[in-house]
Structure 1
Amino acid sequence: MQNKKVVIIGSGFSSLASSCYLAQAGFDVTILEKNNTIGGRARQFKKDGFVFDIGPTFYWMPDVFESFFNDFKTATTSYYKLEKLNPAYKIYFNKEESIAIEDSLEKIKSTFEAVEPHSGKALQKFINKSEDNYNIAIKDLVYNPGESVFEIINWDTIIKSGAFLTTIKKQVASYVKHESLQKILEFPVLFLGAKPSNTPSFYNFMNYADFKLGTWHPMGGMYEVVKGIEKLALSLGVKFETQSAVTSINLEGKQVKSVSTQKQDYVCDVLLSGADYHHTETLLPQAFRQYSEQYWDKKTFAPSALLFFVGFDKPLEHVTHHTLFFDTDFEAHAETIYDTKTWPEKPLFYASFPSKTDRVAAPEGKEAGIFLMPIAPDLEDTPEIRAQYFDKLMSRLEQTVGTEVKSHILFKESYCVNDFKEDYNSYKGNAYGLANTLMQTHVLRPKLKSKKVDNLYFCGQLTVPGPGVPPSLISGKIVSELILKYSKS
């Protein structure tokens, strides 16, 4: 075991997590990253004293992060400082109506009650159910490798089988009637990359994560989490090679013997890819690819995104650290992502103003703004289209919050489909991986272990358990356990 070499392609959260587990188990681990900084999608952009997280900005499910560090007899507090956000986020439904979600369930129940009588009690019942599902999902199901359906068929899931047959949308409507409250309860499943009308109600455990576990911010930004795991990995002996894009996977029979980069070849006993699954398989000879182009083309992908990173010369009023603009028709926008695959006319969008909480994010007296608009993967992406949508988003921001912003913009940078493809070899430029629909859950997702190459494994958002930072950390853990299992057999 001591001398077994593992090469990991990519340095996103799943790769970083797995590198720590494998190094702890005695493997000699090297991570190859194509970009000049590690973190995969969770990189940073810095300009004129402003600091932006390019990738994830929401820190949810703190227990999963804590559990990861606890596995190495340490804690998050040794690596970064967390601040609980209050409000967690604010949603604008129109100019006149906005609802802020505060930092405790009791406060949130009062907020619901003020909008719809008796909805506070209904919310408590809903959250009780979602807590049950969270306990089943996080403490049991998601830590399984997706090799057999019997991993997820047990007494708890049999009892809850109906939760896989009805949708979040239907379930939410049975608890609250007010449209704005329904939208708030449907919002967390957007992190799973699918419409509430297509997502099994079992996934309401995201509402427990939202309302009971809370929304947090690592001071310095989400990249502090990357740096924390990197520090842990280095202490365990993991080696990092940046600007090292893998150009081929070299086989002997059904075994990976090495991988090639432009700089050199890396011999390995095990190859693990946390890079894009589809892209990784294109580095193999055709006969050793598990999934065809048709397979990938038919899959339901989570959205891509059009992102803007904006420096403002003044603090912005009437917005919170996380602010959501649901002031247009959600179904119409969702249809452009999942059905017609076109640019939306009236998009919903999300804005993050990390400088509301974290002075590192912007110079004194200024504001950092991150704007994200979900879109269908593989859309035409041109500078003209980006400019048109930037103007739309800024106009909507001004109209909705009632404050002038356009004349206070110092600079803007954009990021979209072409960048996801270029920087991450992302299939169709998707931002979040495969959607968690019923037909893409657990055993129905691409496998962690290759069926055609004996010592090739995968982790990350295109395999189990799915999209998001906490699932990526979990993916890194379960693939490591799988590698250990097969290395011993």
Structure 2
Amino acid sequence: MNKHITIIGSGFSALSAACYLASYGNQVTIFEKNKTIGGRARQLKRDGFTFDIGPTWYWMPDVFERFFADFGTHPSAFYELEKLNPAYSVYFNENDYITIEDTLEKIYKTFEKEEAGSSKKLKTFMATAQTNYDVAIKDLVYRPGVSPLELITPVTIKKINQFFSTIKKDVRKEFKNERLAKILEFPVLFLGAKPDNTPSFYSFMNYADFGIGTFHPKGGMFQVILAMKSLAENLGVVIKTENSVDKIIVDKGKATGIISNGTVYHSDIVLSGADYHHTETLMDPIHRQYSERYWAKKVFAPSSLLFYVGFDKKLKNVNHHTLFFDVDFDTHAKAIYDQPHWPKDPLFYASFPSLTDNSSAPEHHEAGIFLIPLAPGLNDTQELRNIYFDKIITRFEHLTSQDVKKNIIFKESFCVNDFVKDYNSYKGNAYGMANTLLQTAFLRPKLKSKKVDHLYFTGQLTVPGPGVPPSLISGKLVAELIKKHHAN
């Protein structure tokens, strides 16, 4: 191949695709609307503190290794990875929490201590989760979602029932202890859907959690973006920041370039790693595959209200990743998926990277990232942000038995309006389209446009789905598809 390829966006999927396409001999240029690359995985620096704006969990290290191995290298050539112990803790009440450690054996003991006999059930559950991981992450997710036949293999035929049961049903059938059930249902939230709407087969997320563990790249997730940037530029990729794309040029049914900042850039192929819905609005309606009605009917993963907080002291009774499940999950889930509204009592998550990584905060200080999952499309005001910050910080103080409000140096927030402004995100969603049964593989928006030749898509609204590892894979899938269709 020797094509001029334009890529819109510079998130994980776009950078991944850029690396593969450049390695095939193409001339690749990335156009990024923001000042810095990384898409949702950008970085915030303030007063000696460093925060990942977006993803904070590093799961499935094997997927990252597979990506870098495709270019003859390894993550360790670019960044230092530390396995977290504990991986995370989950609060249920004041000073009442369960800690998930770094090996399955330790986790079995934790379960057994919580509920006699549960470790045996967990071993059975994890055995299935591991085989599902081997099938899904090592094979199925590396298929381009072109045909339903991709999902039919001798192994998946044996597991067919797992596509028609749900995570919640499977977990609740075996685990009567509410706290353990919640912990087992938690990983599928990364897929953007409720446990009672997520096929059992997705228990592979539990293996990613308990079986492989949680890691932290020193310097934060942005180090992965910088590693991919370095790899891309070494392969000849040109990256243009502060270059918003205003239009995709379509001539006689074929994408022939873009207009960015008023300048026309011609190319043989256009690939968008930006929001799928937004990308289609860059063309006349006749060229769009999916109607507004189509998008409105889809199940979207949540948006988020995020706070980046600098504390002038070290915090206690928390881990690098800490979940707060002291309120009813089902009530909060209804506020996200069933009747979208601001939840009265939200669950929330907090990350304190400075507990692991000294580069995250000045000495004797703490960097805190707080996240509340929300329905996309909600009314987002500064007043609401302030109300919800006070809600969760008050609960945080109570649950962890410490005063922190007076130790806040600053806080910055990021919510629905920012997802729309910075990423052109549909309804301000944070994680893309949920991986429900009817939104899996070939049932997701396509990598290749059905209406415009030489136009392709990658990222969390297409195959294989939301999350950082799937985004890396999405970039590979679309690059291979482009290579297949444009070999000459």
- In which range does the TM-score fall when normalised by the shorter chain? over 0.9
- In structure 1, the residue matched to 2:276 is 277
Map 1:143-162 to 2 at 5 A: 143-162=142-161
1:35 aligns with 2:34: yes
1:331 aligns with 2:330: yes
Deviations 1:405-461 (A, max 9, x none): 101100000000000000000000000000000110111100000000110000000
Matched-pair contact (CA < 8 Å) for 1:303–1:337: yes
Q: CA deviation at 1:173?
A: 1.3
Map 1:29-428 to 2 at 5 A: 29-428=28-427
Q: For the residues of structure 2 that align with 1:478 and 1:407, how far apart are their CA atoms?
A: 49
1:101 partner amino acid? I
Q: Which runs of 5+ in 1 are unaligned?
A: none
Q: For the residues of structure 1 that align with 2:151 and 2:246, how far apart are their CA atoms?
A: 37
- Say which SS state the counterpart of residue 478 (structure 1) adopts: helix
Q: For the residues of structure 1 that align with 2:164 and 2:139, how far apart are their CA atoms?
A: 20
2:363 partner amino acid? E
- Say which SS state the counterpart of residue 93 (structure 2) adopts: coil
Q: For the residues of structure 2 that align with 1:291 and 1:157, how far apart are their CA atoms?
A: 30
- In structure 2, the residue matched to 1:476 is 475
1:383 partner amino acid? Q
1:124 partner amino acid? K
- In structure 2, the residue matched to 1:446 is 445
Q: For the residues of structure 1 that align with 2:165 and 2:239, how far apart are their CA atoms?
A: 45
2:467 partner amino acid? G
Q: For the residues of structure 2 that align with 1:465 and 1:251, how far apart are their CA atoms?
A: 27
Q: Which runs of 5+ in 2 are unaligned?
A: none
Q: CA deviation at 1:258?
A: 1.4
- Say which SS state the counterpart of residue 342 (structure 2) adopts: coil
- Say which SS state the counterpart of residue 40 (structure 2) adopts: coil
Q: For the residues of structure 2 that align with 1:27 and 1:404, how far apart are their CA atoms?
A: 56
- Say which SS state the counterpart of residue 323 (structure 2) adopts: strand
Q: For the residues of structure 1 that align with 2:95 and 2:6, how far apart are their CA atoms?
A: 54
Give % identity.
Answer: 62
Matched-pair contact (CA < 8 Å) for 1:244–1:263: no
- Say which SS state the counterpart of residue 172 (structure 1) adopts: helix
Deviations 1:376-398 (A, max 9, x none): 00100001000000000110100
RMSD across aligned positions (CA) = 0.7
Q: For the residues of structure 2 that align with 1:112 and 1:129, how far apart are their CA atoms?
A: 18
Q: For the residues of structure 2 that align with 1:322 and 1:266, how far apart are their CA atoms?
A: 44
Q: For the residues of structure 2 that align with 1:184 and 1:244, how far apart are their CA atoms?
A: 42
Deviations 1:266-303 (A, max 9, x none): 11101000000000000111111000000000100000
- Say which SS state the counterpart of residue 486 (structure 2) adopts: helix
1:192 partner amino acid? L
Q: For the residues of structure 2 that align with 1:221 and 1:324, how far apart are their CA atoms?
A: 19
Matched-pair contact (CA < 8 Å) for 2:95–2:401: no
TM value normalised by structure 1 = 0.99
1:433 partner amino acid? G
- Say which SS state the counterpart of residue 488 (structure 1) adopts: coil
Q: For the residues of structure 2 that align with 1:488 and 1:238, how far apart are their CA atoms?
A: 19
1:475 partner amino acid? S
Matched-pair contact (CA < 8 Å) for 1:83–1:217: yes
Q: For the residues of structure 1 that align with 2:296 and 2:102, how far apart are their CA atoms?
A: 41
Q: CA deviation at 1:96?
A: 4.2
Q: For the residues of structure 2 that align with 1:113 and 1:97, how far apart are their CA atoms?
A: 17
Matched-pair contact (CA < 8 Å) for 1:288–1:452: yes
1:91 partner amino acid? V
Q: CA deviation at 1:264?
A: 2.0
Q: CA deviation at 1:263?
A: 5.0
1:6 aligns with 2:5: yes
- In structure 2, the residue matched to 1:15 is 14
TM value normalised by structure 2 = 0.99
Tell me whether 259-268 or 312-321 shows the greater mean CA deviation. 259-268
Q: For the residues of structure 1 that align with 2:276 and 2:5, how far apart are their CA atoms?
A: 18
2:190 partner amino acid? F
Tell me whether 198-207 or 254-263 shows the greater mean CA deviation. 254-263
2:21 partner amino acid? L
1:458 aligns with 2:445: no
Q: CA deviation at 1:254?
A: 1.0
1:443 partner amino acid? F
Q: CA deviation at 1:174?
A: 2.1
- In structure 1, the residue matched to 2:25 is 26
Q: For the residues of structure 2 that align with 1:29 and 1:96, how far apart are their CA atoms?
A: 53
Q: CA deviation at 1:251?
A: 1.2
Deviations 1:157-208 (A, max 9, x none): 1110100100000101122210000000000000000000100010000000
